[in-house]
Amino acid sequence: MIASEGRVISALSDRYLASPFFTVSRRRSLDRNDFLPPDGHEASLEDGARTLAHVTAAAILKSAGHLPERPATYIICGGGRLNRIIMTDLCALAAEQSAVAMAAESAGLNGDTMEAEAWAYLAVRSLAGLALTLPQTTGVRQPVSGGVLQHPIRE
């Protein structure tokens, strides 16, 4: 609701979207410090929220540039799909790439359980000793499994 009352600050969104995160071949994660405004730049709460919503949508599509080919359909799950501003931006930006973005429910999926299902899938892979991360996805030297299962201590 707050973002709907603001405007995208292009200088900030362009700065974030020009981050090496999107252009380098070796991927890494981002944290909140990657999104600090430059010194001396102030944004209202509304403009900051609107800019962040836009960056969120644009980042999803920009990250797809690391895939072998761009998706024709983006299925959105989790809480972001409930944010009207993010979804409006995501649909508009996807359309510019001749793609479609939709909430998981529009594809017949449960957008609230998809993340839990993904974690369950990773847990099963870990139990089977299979890799969860690969050199081509995160830059690790060799495929890495999910660690070791710790059984609860019984007294």
Total-model pTM: 0.75
CA dihedral of 72, 93, 105, 132, whole degrees rounded to 10? 60
pLDDT (tens digit, 9 = 90+) per residue, 101-128?
Answer: 999 999 999 999 998 899 899 999 998 9
Which residue did the predictor score with more confidence, 63 or 99? 99
pLDDT (tens digit, 9 = 90+) per residue, 61-78?
Answer: 998 887 889 999 999 998
Section 75-92 average pLDDT:
94
> What secondary structure letter does DSSP report for 141?
S
Helices (H), 5-44: 10-17
Q: How far apart are the first and last CA of the chain?
A: 50
Residue 29: pLDDT over 70? no
Section 1-8 average pLDDT:
93
Q: Where are the domains of the chain?
A: 3-107, 113-155
How crowded is residue 79: how many other Cβ atoms within 10 Å of its Cβ?
A: 10
Helix (H, G, I), strand (E, B) or coil at 88: helix
Instruction: With beta carbons less than 8 A apart as the criterion, state whether 147 and 125 touch.
Output: no
Section 29-48 average pLDDT:
76
Burial of 38 (0-12, 13-18, 19+ CB in 10 A): exposed
